[in-house]
Amino acid sequence: MGNCCSDVGGGMAAVSGAASSAATGNQNDAVDMYLRSHGIHGLFSQIELSFSATSLRDRDVFSKSDPMVAVYIKERDGAINEVFRTEVVLNSLTPTWIAKYTITYHFEVVQNLLFKVFDVDTQYHNVEMKMLKLEEQQSLGEACCTLSEIVTKPNRSLTLDLIRREESVSSTHSQHCGKLTVHAEECFSSKSTADIILRCIGLESKDLFSKSDPFLVISKLVERGISIPVCKTEVLKNDHNPTWKPVFLNIQQVGSKDSPLVIECFNFNSNGKHDLIGKVQKSLADLEKLHLGREGENLYLPTLVGHNYENKILNSKLLVDKFSETVQHTFLDYLAGGFELNFMVAIDFTASNGNPRLPDSLHYIDPSGRLNAYQKAIYEVGEVLQFYDADKRYPAWGFGARPIDGPVSHCFNLNGSSNYCEVQGIQGIMMAYTSALLNVSLAGPTLFGHVINRASGVACDSLSTGAKKYFVLLIITDGVITDLQETKDALVKASDLPLSILIVGVGGADFKEMEILDADKGERLESTTGCIASRDIVQFVPFRDVQSGEISMVGALLAELPTQFLTYMRRRDIKPST
């Protein structure tokens, strides 16, 4: 009954030792699976926040304050939820708290944190932390920031001024009462990955009429002799001297390099009952020694002799053909090393948007302050990316319009200048956008090639000066492009540069043709010279209004950015220098 219904092919595939799982950078496969099944993709890592403070106010009469910190998260809808409390440090105005708060860092979301420092009254000192009612304590001040602000600082420490809000104070300025320092650390005990090629010789036959179909299972030994499988190789058919494909083990997965591992060699049976051919017990450090010494280790098989199990040593050997350790740097490592993400924006000014003075136009600026689709898209992407750009100067362009009686331009500076294209801050983009609407007449057609080439020029210039910058171009458009081949040529040229392109489609047009540009949905792009895009740098999404609680589609796009950044850096072997 078993054979015809079960997925034999799936059962023979390698599990969890492949290179791709090492790329997500998360130390726990179970957490990975959980988050993925809940629709959270992209790069996320665990960060530990630790706290210290200086110059706190002295509230107690006969001794110093006894401070503690409470951490709150500000949700998008304004709700403030408490998530963590440190311990109380007695009698100190410059405390360093030991308790650390673990938070998952999501690149694509702005994570607003609020910190409140309280002085815990002496009568509450024996009460458990969780039971303490914070409203009854005296506030020493509060501060807020976003998680991105902390991780983009060079030493990952952010010092904030504590501010007290008191309703009874008549003066309008808030009083400063000390400083709180928040420090972020990634939760990795080791970022090393071991790349191992294992092979066996002289395996014995377990099948009646054919040779064995061997595969390996590597498990880690925890206390009391229980072993937990960590990874499994693929099954090689009919082979007594098999060499399996390389296995990538994150040293964190197995504990440490000296943790004992059990490597078992099984014979694959399609009914699921695999026979044990032999096993060895080695740590990663032992495997490395085997590789260096070019020796093999004999497998042993626990066999029943009388009433006891004895380990019968076989003639089969396990050999290590390759053992190399590499350090996988994470996205946050690159940020700490000084890398920046530079935001650039290009806005579609073609006539298909409609007359900007009429309320049904996609470019209509509502006097009541409601943002139009273009403004919403700029905010959604800009408010996440702004923390990763040090000088907050963003190149901004428009295309498809006629600036004051000139010919139609397919890439003009949004700020109206003819010399430089940058504006200051997200507010600068908004102001340049609204003033450009008054100064240009919408025209057409919709061409992307010029804007992409301009962005490529900026990226190329930065690359030749050796700057540690990665560029993100946001193109907001309402229609389908008319220069598909030029755009493909421009994209193929840009695919080897430190550039990613997000295309957001607004309005109700049918964007099916735009999906050709996103290699996730189609084939790899090819230019007129036969050159093929070396990376998929385009992500396209139609812009839809987000209902509360939903993960926005633009957010899902942003989640891909750290992975694209890491692919670029790793392929060129660029390391974050610290």
Residues at the site binding other proteins, with contacts judged by CB under 8 A: 453-454, 456-457, 460-461, 463-464, 489, 493-494, 496-497, 524, 526, 528-534, 571-572
For residues 455-469, one letter each, b for 16 or more C-beta atoms within 10 angstroms of the residue's C-beta and e for the rest, the string is bbebbbebeeeeebb
| CB of 9 or CB of 530, closer to other proteins | 530
- Contact yes or no for 546/369 (Cβ under 8 A): no
CB closer to other proteins out of 506 and 533: 533
Provide, rounded to whole angstroms, the least separation between the CB of residue 36 and other proteins. 28
Phi, psi of 360 (to 5 degrees): -90, 5
**Smallest distance from other proteins to CB 522, Å:** 14
Burial class (CB in 10 A: 0-12, 13-18, 19+), 118: buried
H runs (alpha helix) in 403-464: 425-439, 449-464
Nearer to other proteins by Cβ, of 544 and 572: the residue is: 572
Q: What does DSSP say about strands 422-424 and 393-399: parallel, antiparallel, or unpaired?
A: antiparallel
Choose between 312 and 322: whose C-beta lies nearer to other proteins: 322
Min dist. Cβ of residue 519 to other proteins (A): 12
Alpha-helical (H) ranges within 262-421 are 284-293, 331-336, 373-385
150 vs 472, beta carbon nearer other proteins = 472
- Of 254 and 452, which CB lies nearer to other proteins in the complex structure? 452
Reading the block at residue 525, the tokens are 């792009």
Q: Is the peptide bond before 445 cis (omega within 30 degrees of 0)?
A: yes
| Minimum CB distance to other proteins, residue 514 (Å) | 20
Residue with smaller CB distance to other proteins, 272 or 522: 522
Least spacing, CB of residue 43 vs other proteins, in Å: 22
Q: Which two tokens stand for residue 124?
A: 């509450």
Asked if residues 235 and 245 have their Cβ atoms less than 8 Å apart, the reply is: no
CB of 464 to other proteins, least distance (A): 5
Among 190, 202, 175, which residue's Cα sits nearest to residue 254?
Answer: 190
Shortest distance, position 455 Cβ to other proteins, whole Å: 10
The string of DSSP codes covering 39-94 is T--S-EEEEEEEEEEES-----SSS---EEEEEEEE-TTS-EEEEEE-PPPPS-SS
Strand 440-442 to strand 401-403: parallel, antiparallel, or no bridges (unpaired)? antiparallel
Measured in degrees and rounded to the nearest 5, phi and psi for residue 366 equal -75, 125
Query: Please, which residue, 37 or 465, has the CB nearer to other proteins?
Result: 465
As measured in angstroms, the least distance from the Cβ of 529 to other proteins is 5
With respect to other proteins, which residue has the nearer C-beta, 66 or 489?
A: 489
CB of 485: closest distance to other proteins in angstroms?
10
Burial class (CB in 10 A: 0-12, 13-18, 19+), 481: buried
Minimal distance in Å, beta carbon 538 to other proteins? 16
Between 106 and 454, name the residue whose CB sits nearer to other proteins. Answer: 454
Query: Which amino acid belongs to residue 293?
Result: G
Rounded CA-CA distance 230/15 in Å is: 9
Q: Retrieve residue 111's tokens.
A: 């994570």
